[in-house]
Each structure stands twice: as structure tokens, then as C-alpha cells.
Amino acid sequence: MVIDWSDGNKSSLYSLWLRDHCQMPESRNLDNGQRLFSVKDLPSNITIEKAYKDAEGNVCVMFQPENHLSVFCQKWLRENCYELNSHFEDRSEKSKKLWKKDSFDNGLPFISYDLMHSDDTSKVLALRSLREYGFFVLNDVPTQDGQVLKVISELGFTRETNYGALFEVRTEVNPNNLAFTNLGLGSHTDNPYRDPVPTVQLLHCLESSTEGGESILVDGFKAASILREESQENFLSLANTWINYRFSDSKTELRSRVPMIDLNDKKEVIKVRYNNRSIDTINVPQDKMRSFYKAYRHWSEIIERDELKIQFKLSEGDLMLFDNTRVMHARTEFSKSGKRHLQGAYSDLDGLYSLLNRLEMKNNND
């Protein structure tokens, strides 16, 4: 393990981890661990006078000209070593289990709502499935009006939008969205015309007596990785071309300018957006139009490949929850006879992952 002491970055060597494992340093608030000084408060001529190991095995560093002694316990240093540890909260494809149709031979992540409701172990199981696969399905959720909002309140927070805190998915007359017809819908992510996009979607099945109307899920990160394998050029075209999405109705006029594939600093996929219904006029320089459409068509073809799709029918009481920045959803057309009624809502990953982090930390401390 090598730590570069010479850069004077004493703030980098403090961390909230210290609270759990070592003594809280004076430079942080005792109650909440927040840092009490700004990097600009450090003298620009900062140097290390000496560094040594004390009797308890802590690494001690004496900084000048402030005569400030920083003490780092070994556990903290190990947990924050640049070489041993990866970044946390990495939402990129690298930290996920990418999947296609045949990845679930042992069954889909269906979890009993009763168990999740009452037992932290099931909650961890469900939330880990969200983190790793991008979705889970709860069974036997009471088919009561508004229940989807109760489920969110057990896990995180509702993101209210122009569709309401909760929206009804059933066949409507003059709907403001094709989702509210009996048409089949191709694989898509929701609300790409919204910035910030809702990062979690829930769909709760209250009634299901039509023919058809089956749910389809596709791992958008897997689809993006296939696009990259088949054509690096097309992959980069979609990552580097920002386009407009748009949604209008009588009260709403939502617009965004975003890429279909979002990359992080390491050029790993962190977010996908795909919704052919709401892509607006493509405003790309004329000399890039042809290559953009080539890439867009290729990506659309991959997304609709059968080997990528898992398909199942939501029964009454099933509630599907998925990462709307990764997993695309679709449905098959359904008959006009019988009833199909879902209630949907949006939430955000940060609240759900916060709960998962707390539960995992609790388990580690048990």
C-alpha cells in the first residue's frame, strides 16, 4: 500500500468512515461528521515535517506551518486505500450483473411482499436485485388503490410529476400518452424528456383479465455493451450526440437535451435513455446526420432482439420495480375485452440505495 503523503491533501485523508472506526478528527463536526474547513483554508506552503507510526499502530503525520498532527488508524487507511478499493456508489455497467433472456434459468427475482414488509433480509435481497439486475417483482401486494405509494414509502420517496404522484395505466379515451391505450409498446425508458429523469419506476397490477398485455424487460446496459461490441463507432455516435426529447399535452411542455447513452469518466455506461415515441426532431450537424441514424437504427434493432427480452405476465397483486436509467420496459398489445389496470409511480435510486447501504452497514456491524 502506497499513500502519497507529499501532496498536502490532509482533507483527503479524513472521512466519515472514521466515525465508525476511529476517533472523529477535530476538523469535522462531532454530530454529523461534516468537514469544518475548506481546502482553501489550508496554507499553500503546506509541508510534512514528519510521519511515523505510534504505539497503537496509527500513522501520524505532522503538517507545517500549522503544527497540525493528523492521526490515521490502520483500518481506515486500509478501507480508503486507492489501490485496494474501488469507488463507492458506482452506478456504471462495471458494478452490475448484465443479463439477457437466458440469464434467469434459476428464476426471476420475485419476492414476497409480506416478507419484504416485515423482514430486513428480504428487503436487502430485493434492493440488491435492483442494484445488480436493475429490477425486482413483489408478489401478493394488496390490490388496493394507492398501494404503490405505500410500497415506495417503505423504501424511499415518491417523485411526483405532471402525471401525478400516482398514475393510472389503463385504456382511456383521448389519452395524453400511448401508454394509456391497448397498443403494444416497444422497449423504452420512461420520461427521457424530463431532466432530471425519474430513476425508478413502479408498476402495480390491480386487475388483469385481458388477453396479452405481457410485460417485457430488457437490460439497457447489456444492449449498450452489445452495440459497443458490434460497432464502437455507432456506440460512440450515440454517446456523443445529444438530442432533444419532448412531451406536450394541454398543460405540459417538457423538453430535454441529453444523450441516449451516458458515459462516466472511464467511458463506462452509467445511464441509457430510449423512447422512440418522444424523440423530437433530430438537430445534428448535417454531416453527422447519416452516421447518427445508422447508430440509432442499429441500437433500436439490438433492443428488440428476442434473446435480450424477458417476458412475463403481471398477475393481480404483482408489483414490478425497476431502474429507469438502465432497464427498458415494454408490453405486448392486449385485447379490448377484459380489464387491465395498473397503478404506476416514480421514485429515485438515491433513497433506495441509502436504505440498502444502511441495512448492509447494520449487517456488517452485527
- What whole-number distance in Å separates Cα of residue 222 and Cα of residue 264? 16
* Minimum distance, C-beta of residue 105 to a copy of itself, in the bound complex (Å): 29
Distance of CA 55 to the CA centre of its chain: 44
- Residue 361 corresponds to which amino acid? M
* Minimum distance, C-beta of residue 99 to a copy of itself, in the bound complex (Å): 22
* Minimum distance, C-beta of residue 358 to a copy of itself, in the bound complex (Å): 5
Helix axis angle for 220-230 and 232-240, nearest 10°, is: 130
Pairing mode, if any, of strands 215-219 and 327-331? Answer: antiparallel
- Residue 322 corresponds to which amino acid? F
Q: How far is CA 301 from CA 65, 166, 242, 276, 306, in A?
A: 63, 32, 20, 12, 10
* Minimum distance, C-beta of residue 297 to a copy of itself, in the bound complex (Å): 5
Q: How far is CA 302 from CA 177, 221, 252, 262, in A?
A: 25, 12, 32, 17
Helix axis angle for 147-155 and 349-365, nearest 10°, is: 50
Environment class of 122 (CB within 10 Å of its CB; exposed 0-12, middle 13-18, buried 19+): middle
- Three-point CA angle 331, 345, 257, nearest 5°: 80
* Minimum distance, C-beta of residue 303 to a copy of itself, in the bound complex (Å): 8
Nearer to a copy of itself, 315 or 357 (CB): 357
Nearer to a copy of itself, 137 or 260 (CB): 260
Neighbours of 36 (CB within 10 A): 10
Nearer to a copy of itself, 280 or 316 (CB): 280
* Minimum distance, C-beta of residue 40 to a copy of itself, in the bound complex (Å): 4
DSSP letters spanning 322-337? EETTTEEEEE--B-SS
Nearer to a copy of itself, 118 or 276 (CB): 276
Nearer to a copy of itself, 108 or 254 (CB): 254
Nearer to a copy of itself, 49 or 301 (CB): 301
Q: How far is CA 359 from CA 121, 210, 354, in A?
A: 9, 40, 9
Nearer to a copy of itself, 60 or 359 (CB): 359
* Minimum distance, C-beta of residue 55 to a copy of itself, in the bound complex (Å): 25
Nearer to a copy of itself, 109 or 156 (CB): 156
- What whole-number distance in Å separates Cα of residue 198 and Cα of residue 254? 13
* Minimum distance, C-beta of residue 164 to a copy of itself, in the bound complex (Å): 10
- What whole-number distance in Å separates Cα of residue 270 and Cα of residue 256? 18
- What whole-number distance in Å separates Cα of residue 298 and Cα of residue 149? 38
* Minimum distance, C-beta of residue 54 to a copy of itself, in the bound complex (Å): 21
Nearer to a copy of itself, 50 or 297 (CB): 297
Nearer to a copy of itself, 150 or 290 (CB): 290
**Residue 210 cell numbers, joined:** 385481458
* Minimum distance, C-beta of residue 244 to a copy of itself, in the bound complex (Å): 6
